Every structure is written in structure tokens, then in C-alpha cells.
Amino acid sequence: MPSYSMPWVIGPVPIVATLWSAYVTTIALVHRREMTGERFVAAYLFPLGIISAISLMFLHKYDLRFIILMGQIATAACFVGIYTIEKKVSGDPPLIAMEEFNLTKELWNLYFVALIYIFYCVVIFSFPVVSACTISKCYFIELMLGGKSYKFSIIYAVNFVGSLILVATSAISVRTLRELRARSTEDRPDAGDRK
């Protein structure tokens, strides 16, 4: 007999967010609609929910820290893939626009975002996130995201923030590498002969 007692393993907020984002992402791909803020958020929430749920299967084999780190990397990679596919299907340029590119500024941005991610990982991995909160507002968070004892809410919340930072890092890196590659082909003496 199923148990409907709260908190659930996976709370109602991740369930609704993942189902909504799956619907929006599917509609965007099928109907070839342009990228909007709604589709951007859906492209992020869809892999976040799926990968966090899949991570539960590996908890008995691997350490929670390893699962969180791999989940962040997988979520960021899936988001970039979904984002790129949606942009290509709708006919938009696949990545960020390159106007007004400043290499020094981009390298400082990359350095700053990488430092934020390292600091975030040090904080998350240094403190016991499983038992971090015991007051009544934490119980409300458990009701919404899932029971802390099942570890889904921890994986979901930590992956949400960490994956956002990784997405920013990858966007800056890709943009910088594209610009460096474009500059290197322009600087070659045989670049004009190929045109």
C-alpha cells in the first residue's frame, strides 16, 4: 500500500517543475519556436530534475559529494546541449552574440566565475549539508523539495546553484575560445587566400 505521508522522497516543486519544463522543451523543439525566457528556464530545469532523480540510484554506491559534482557537470552539459539544439531548430545563432567582445574583460569574467564556483564547492563540501538546517522553515523546504533524509532535496538544491555557475563558466569559455580562434585565423597570412 503506497504511503502518502509527507515529506516525499521527491517533493512537489521538482516534480511540477520537471514536468512543466519537459512540456515546454518538447513544444519548443517540435514547433521550432524561438528562444524566450520561459524556454530558457525550461531548458535548465528539465535536466536538473531528471539528473537529480537519476542521482538517487547511485547514492548507495558513491559518496554524496561525488554525485553532486557529477550531477552539476551533467546538468550544465545537458542544458548547453538543449539550449544549442533549440537555437539551431528555431534558426537563431546557436551561441551568445559576439558584438563588443573584449578579451581582457572576458578572461577576468572567467576567472571571477571560476573563483565563485571553487568557493561554492569548498563551502558545500566542507560543511555537512545533510544536517545543515533543523528549524521549521527547513521543514517547509523539505515539504516542497523532498525529505532531507532521502537526500533528493539536497542534490536538487545544490545542483541548481552549482550548475548555474558552471553554465556561466562554459558560456564565457566558449565565447572566449571562439573569439581567440577567429582572431588566430585572421592573423594567418594564408587566411586571405582561403576566402
Mean per-residue pLDDT, 146-160: 83
Q: Can you give the pLDDT at residue 115?
A: 93
For the chain, the C-alpha Rg in angstroms (whole number) is 20
Residue 3 lies in a domain: no
Q: Which residue has the higher pLDDT, 48 or 59?
A: 48
Which pLDDT score, from 0 to 100, does residue 87 have? 78
Whether residue 5 is contained in a domain is answered as no
* Residue ranges making up the domain that contains 122: 12-94+101-185
Whether 149 maps to a domain, the answer reads yes
Is the confidence at residue 12, as pLDDT, over 80?
A: yes
| Span 123-139, average pLDDT | 72
How many structural domains are present in the chain? 1
The answer on pLDDT for 37 being more than 50 is yes
User: Among 80, 72, 78, 76, which residue's Cα sits nearest to residue 159?
Assistant: 72
Between CA 177 and CA 50 the distance in angstroms is 30
pLDDT digits (tens, 9 = 90+) for 135-148: 666 777 778 888 77
Q: What percent of the chain has pLDDT over 70?
A: 82
- Angstrom distance (rounded) from CA 183 to CA 185: 5
Please tell me which residue, 22 or 131, carries the higher pLDDT value: 22
Average pLDDT, the chain: 80
Please, is 20 exposed, middle or buried when counting C-beta atoms within 10 Å of its C-beta (0-12, 13-18, 19+)?
middle
Q: Report yes or no on 190 lying in a domain.
A: no
Q: What is the pTM of this model?
A: 0.76
Altogether, the residues listed in the chain come to a count of 195
The span from the CA of 42 to the CA of 28, in Å, is 10
What proportion of the chain, given as a percentage, has pLDDT over 90?
12
Residue 194 has pLDDT above 60, yes or no: no
DSSP for 30-61, please give it.
HHTPPP-HHHHHHHHHHHHHHHHHHHGGGTTT
| 7 within domain boundaries | no
Q: Quick check: is 194 in a domain?
A: no
On the question of pLDDT at 15 being above 70, the answer is yes
